[in-house]
Amino acid sequence: MQTNLLCVLAGIVSGAVAALCGVGGGIILVPALVMLFDMPQKNAVATSLAAIILTSVAASIRNTGNQLVNWKIAVPVALAASVVAWFAADWLRQLSNVVLTRIFAVIMITVGARMLWTAR
C-alpha cells in the first residue's frame, strides 16, 4: 500500500512539473525512483521514460488546445529525438549505474546553473 501511495505521489509531482516546465520524468521521477524505491539508475531511467508517455500525450493534447504548441518545431525535434533515443537505449544498457548517475547529475547541474544565470 505504501509503495502504491508513493507511486501516486511521484506521479502527481512529476505530472505537475511536466505540465508547467516541460520536464518531469528526468528531473522528478528518476531521482524519486532511485531514492524512494532503491531502484538502480538504469531501471529508473527506463521506468521513467515508460511512465512519462501518457503524461506527455495528455499535456500535449491540452497544450495544443490552448494553442501553445509550435508543430513546425515539435515534429522534427520529436522525430530526431526518437531516432536517437532508440539507439541511446542500448547505450543505457552498456553504461554502469555509477557512470549514468554522474552523467545525469552533471547535466542537471549544468543546465540548472545556465538557466539561473540566463533567465529571461
- CA-angle at 29, arms to 55 and 43, nearest 5°: 110
| pLDDT above 80: residue 105 | yes
Amino acid in the structure at residue 94: Q
Residue 95 DSSP label: S
Residues 43, 90 contacting (CB under 8 angstroms): no
The reply to whether the predicted model has a pTM over 0.85 is: no
14-46 tens-digit pLDDT = 888 888 887 777 888 999 999 999 999 999 999
Q: Which three cell numbers stand for residue 69?
A: 504548441
Residue 47 — very low, low, confident or very high, per pLDDT cuts 50/70/90?
A: very high
| pLDDT above 70: residue 93 | yes
CA distance 32 to 14: 10
Burial 30-44 (b: 16+ CB within 10 A, else e): bbbbbeeeebebbeb
Residue 1 — very low, low, confident or very high, per pLDDT cuts 50/70/90?
A: low
